[in-house]
Structure 1
Amino acid sequence: MGDHQEKEALFDALVEAAKALGNGRRAELIDVLAQGERPVDELAAEIHQSLANTSQHLQRLLRAGLVCSRRSGTRVYYSVASPAVERLWRALRETAEAHVGELGDLVRAYIGERDQLGMITRDELRRRLREGDVVVLDVRPQPEYDAGHIPGALSLPVADLKSRLREIPQGSEIVAYCRGPYCLYADDAVRVLTGEGRRAARLEEGFPEWKEEGLPVEQSAT
């Protein structure tokens, strides 16, 4: 039978993953990597940190076993270690939403009010896709679309949306999606589209939640 010292060592090891996530920038990295593999320089740009700081955060996640890395030429690519890491991040987020009182104010301060945005649930989108009466836009960066996307979705990063509006069929209702409930890409896309007189809504959640439900996913040929 183990003694209490061994039990303490076990429980210390069990919380190592939580300790690694106990930093906002590292949580941001997991949020981005849930979309697909990315190189260090792109990750640094995504979280607005220096290359050195981003590398340090990634090394901490690597030591905790939450991410994997590989080298291709001069670039180092990172990815989440398994779907369990994505589930851990989602559970942490949902727990905070349920129990951290001031989180609602922080969310509203960041994303603003969504009352005027059309919203569509995952189940409703599935139904509309079966009926073929909706155009789905993936407004995340191109590498994330290539790593995995909702089947039939058009890749139209939000930064390019205004210049590429003509690529979206006229008269169709549009559903935009991005990284998840705290991602603003889809919000911005819906505002641009409705400002141009198009009918548009955003998916309530994002691609990671779609994938986690075991729904169909496509990857781009590379």
Structure 2
Amino acid sequence: MTQDSCATPKQDIFLSLAELAQAIGHVNRLELLEHLAQGPRSVEELSTRSGMAFANTSRHLQILRRAGLLKTERQGKKVVYSLTGLTEVVLLIKALGLMGEAHIATVGQRLNTSYRIHDTMPPVTREELATRLAGQSAFVVDVRAEDEFGLGHIPGSINIPMLDLHHGLASLPRDRAIVVYCRGPYCVQAYEAAGFLRSQGFDARRLEDGFPEWRALGFPVEIPIPGGTTEP
């Protein structure tokens, strides 16, 4: 689609926004954006994580790149994709989700039948968790995969992937509140983890949204760097 030379400036802007909306308007591309919100990924990694064929993954990534949502960097033989603007992309997807939850019945029904069935407790807000971390009154568990945790995480959190959680109960405190988090608002593992830990007698709740929203909204993160240390 090309811009009409007779269009008004407002129409030019709306046309560009419509093209942006069209770029994210696909289930596979929304999932790819969720993966990239955790950190940069190669096409091969994204193909494996999404379950899509390499060629199909590459095609969707190129559409997102042409829309200005992604940038690339060649690392050896691999092409690595990352978000052009973490905050803007994460908040764009968040706004889309809030609209869906408020006005699309299917979204609310799926949240009730597939998410809240595991955990009906209200989540811990980002501000509340930040206060608890400052006072060292919360124990934070990241239930994402280990490689996602390695791309960045909430300071002081420990990584126990959801599939390993039942083996890691002995490492969790029973005298402190536990806050769990995952990839984002629609990562069911945060709901599952909070519900499971409470069933085992822990004082556990999930964080609202997930790590990308925490980082996008300016809360502190730890990003591992070579040598085993971290940088803010």
1:164 corresponds to 2:164: no
Separation in structure 2 between the aligned mates of residue 159 and residue 41 of structure 1, nearest angstrom: 23
The residue that corresponds to 2:29 in the other structure is: 26
Deviation at residue 165 of structure 1 after TM alignment? 3.0
1:131 corresponds to 2:111: no
2:66 counterpart (42, 63, 66): 63
Give the number of equivalent residue pairs.
221
Listed one character per residue, the Cα deviations across residues 132-161 of structure 1 (whole Å, up to 9, x for unaligned) are 122101111223222221111112221222
2:40 counterpart (34, 37, 41): 37
Deviation at residue 162 of structure 1 after TM alignment? 2.4
Deviation at residue 172 of structure 1 after TM alignment? 2.7
The residue that corresponds to 2:214 in the other structure is: 210
The residue that corresponds to 1:103 in the other structure is: 107
Listed one character per residue, the Cα deviations across residues 103-139 of structure 1 (whole Å, up to 9, x for unaligned) are 2113324324255446322222122212212210111
Question: Secondary structure of 1:204's partner?
Answer: coil
Unaligned runs of 5+ in 2: 227-232
Deviation at residue 80 of structure 1 after TM alignment? 0.9
Contact 1:145 1:220 in 2 (8 A): no
2:82 counterpart (68, 79, 86): 79
1:149 corresponds to 2:167: no
Contact 1:80 1:86 in 2 (8 A): no
Deviation at residue 98 of structure 1 after TM alignment? 2.6
Separation in structure 1 between the aligned mates of residue 57 and residue 39 of structure 2, nearest angstrom: 17
Deviation at residue 6 of structure 1 after TM alignment? 6.7
Deviation at residue 4 of structure 1 after TM alignment? 2.8
Question: Secondary structure of 1:71's partner?
Answer: strand
Unaligned runs of 5+ in 1: none
Listed one character per residue, the Cα deviations across residues 51-93 of structure 1 (whole Å, up to 9, x for unaligned) are 2211111111111111112222333221111132222222222
Question: Secondary structure of 1:77's partner?
Answer: strand
Contact 1:146 1:221 in 2 (8 A): no
Question: Secondary structure of 2:68's partner?
Answer: coil
TM-score of the aligned structures, taking structure 2 as reference length? 0.83
Percent of paired sites with the same residue: 41
TM-score of the aligned structures, taking structure 1 as reference length? 0.87
In the superposition, relative to structure 1, how do residues 166 and 41 fare at CA in structure 2: closer, same or farther (>3 Å)? farther
Counterpart code for 1:78: Y
In the superposition, relative to structure 1, how do residues 3 and 42 fare at CA in structure 2: closer, same or farther (>3 Å)? closer
1:192 counterpart (189, 196, 199): 196
